[in-house]
Amino acid sequence: MVPGPVLGIETSCDETAAAVLAPDGRVLAEHVLSQEREHAPHGGVVPEIAARAHLAHLPRIVRHVMEEAGLALSGLGAVAASGGPGLIGGLLVGSGLARGIAIGAGIPYVAINHLEAHALTVRLPGLAPGGAPFPYLLLLLSGGHCQCVAVEGVGRYVRLGGTLDDAVGEAFDKVAKLLGLSWPGGPALERLAAHGDDARFPFPRPMLGRPGCDFSFSGLKTAVAQTVNRQPQGALPRDTAADIAASFQAAVADVLADRARHALARFGAAHPDGRLLVVAGGVAANARIRAALESAAAGEGFTLVAPPVRLCTDNAVMVAWAAIERLRLGLADPLDFAPRPRWPLDAPDMRPEPATIAIPPSSYIV
């Protein structure tokens, strides 16, 4: 069981974040320091990426959330940090502090797979009807991740597909850059696309209609770059840029909807009781894409749920929540856990009880 409030720490990429959750999942305090926001004037460049920035900010942020939650470290029931995948410098800072607190306060330490934290966020109290019971299908669509995962239980994930090259959020950011838009690229591109003709440029739809659930966005990005290069010299006229943005967004929406349909059919065959499609990651904030996925889900008899954006992008609430889910199963980690730059969701050690796998991965081969 969960012996008391849980402190979560997230330092796997650009965000430095901490949060305190009550044992039932209520958020007592949360704070995210986003390097993206801090460095927007630099056009998406991250001057201080890893360890140093996290080291400079994390202790202050942890003190801040503990004060806001009205707790001393001795009042915590457990402490958790993202243990991977991510940049090793940041992971070492976050898990180092978490382990120090665990030793000092004499409480359990939980090393959280960052992707599992995204996968379980929708189960936070109040986000989905019935608390999003297992199993459900997760589409994780962000700048760094693009994958399609059957979530069967805590630690039980079957990856149905992933990107062969660029992540979808990365494609948004790079196309935004090609169009001269400000950082962050996704929202700026969506605003521009609202004024554009989405049929003017017939961009390719990579993977459309192909079997399986894999994604590919590199060819689409290249097609946009070539279209931009073909325009007359000088600054891109705003209406042309808007048409490119709208046409690009439409291509991405078509591809994601097609891939989601494939994944839902495959997931539904293995889990006739699963009826929930969960979309996480910053790209879920795009209204056009959300509409395309809602329609794909409805067509397969599924309901789409997307957690609010602040919980979809990197944050520490999800880390503390994943720890609560693990602690409820009696799971914690040894203090010598080594952070992992690569840590796939379907790594064998993610599963709490390998002997009780209900549905072997082979069920998904159609």
Partner 1 sequence: MIAAPPPAGRVLRSLAETEALAAALAALAQPGDAILLDGPLGAGKSALARAFIRHAAGDPALEVPSPTFTLVQTYDTPRGPVHHYDLWRVDGPAALAELGWDDAAAGITLVEWPGRLGALRPADALLVTLRTVPGDDEARRVTLSGWPGRLA
- Chain residues binding partner 1 by CB under 8 A are 13, 42, 44-52, 85-89, 143-144, 162-167, 169-170, 173-174, 177-178, 218, 221-226, 229, 341-342
Minimum Å distance from CB 158 to partner 1?
16
**Pairwise CA distance, residues 134 & 42, whole Å:** 42
The smaller minimum CB distance to partner 1, of residues 91 and 320, is found at: 91
Distances (CA, A) of 227 to 32, 217, 236, 240, 252: 38, 16, 11, 10, 16
Distances (CA, A) of 362 to 129, 159, 161, 164, 365: 30, 12, 14, 21, 6
**Pairwise CA distance, residues 322 & 329, whole Å:** 11
Minimum Å distance from CB 192 to partner 1?
18
The answer to whether 312 and 285 have CB atoms below 8 angstroms apart is yes
**Pairwise CA distance, residues 244 & 353, whole Å:** 49
Minimum Å distance from CB 169 to partner 1?
8
The answer to whether 95 and 111 have CB atoms below 8 angstroms apart is yes
Minimum Å distance from CB 26 to partner 1?
31
Written as one letter, the residue type at 15 is: E
Minimum Å distance from CB 292 to partner 1?
23
Minimum Å distance from CB 276 to partner 1?
27
Written as one letter, the residue type at 65 is: V
Which residues in 61-70 are b (16+ Cβ under 10 Å) and which e?
Answer: bbeebbeebe
The smaller minimum CB distance to partner 1, of residues 107 and 179, is found at: 179
The smaller minimum CB distance to partner 1, of residues 54 and 262, is found at: 54
Q: Which tokens hold the place of 312?
A: 């979809």
The candidate with the shortest Cα–Cα distance to 301, out of 134, 128, 130, 137, is 137
The smaller minimum CB distance to partner 1, of residues 95 and 271, is found at: 95
SS3 content of the chain, % helix, strand, coil (to 5): 45, 15, 35
The smaller minimum CB distance to partner 1, of residues 10 and 294, is found at: 10
Minimum Å distance from CB 102 to partner 1?
25
The smaller minimum CB distance to partner 1, of residues 200 and 275, is found at: 200
The smaller minimum CB distance to partner 1, of residues 44 and 268, is found at: 44
